[in-house]
Amino acid sequence: MPAARIGPNSIIQTVAVLREVFTPDELRTLLTGETASYLSHLPHEMIPEVQFHELVDLLTAQLGVERAGEILYRSGELTADYVRANRIPAPIRTVLALLPAPISLRVFLPAISKHAWTFAGSGAFHFSIGRTPLVSIGKSVNRDTSKIAAVLCRYYCGAFTQLLRRVVSSRISLREVACQARSGSACVYQIVM
């Protein structure tokens, strides 16, 4: 099986948030090993998913789940802003913003599923657009991510929340109904409008 890949924004935006939160000296202490290279050189192409997971591993070990989770949530938001600006044509964004939210969601979720790997990596993305709309991301198929599942969950939640708020309706919020970090096979978020 080829190594699973993920968009470079997973690392680019996480490092951007770290630069907002920490001084350059603190960052040189925090980012050790392979991750130290991100201070001088960020990826621009798709990367092996394991590189993102190793960065999350490091942050979780150094900062704890809660603080690492806050950083990854913000990174997810910034990743969503990138996806919105670069993967959704402006005329489509305009139409989606004008439609009633439930209809906009019906159009948007199938479209975004093509780009979900950008932030989901090898975790399978699913959605449901019924009376109770849902999005979910399954576990990485390549690697045991149980130690960082709670932090990855914050990244997914930040990305989906921001994307749906910016594209579909600013009133949307997500309610997590199952989580990889709590013995679920996927993080499942109910879309509340």
Nearer to Zn ion, 116 or 187 (CB): 187
Give the contacts of 123 (CB within 8 A, at least 6 positions apart): 137, 138, 139, 140, 141, 186
Nearer to Zn ion, 4 or 65 (CB): 65
Smallest separation (angstroms) from Zn ion to the CB of 10: 16
Smallest separation (angstroms) from Zn ion to the CB of 152: 8
Q: Nearest-CA neighbor of 155 among 98, 75, 93, 88?
A: 75
The per-residue DSSP string of 21-46 comes to HS-HHHHHHHS-GGGGGGGT----S-
Nearer to Zn ion, 31 or 187 (CB): 187
Round to whole Å and give the CA distance between 21 and 152. Answer: 19
Positions that interact with Zn ion (CB under 5 A):
153, 179, 187
Smallest separation (angstroms) from Zn ion to the CB of 149: 7
Smallest separation (angstroms) from Zn ion to the CB of 157: 7
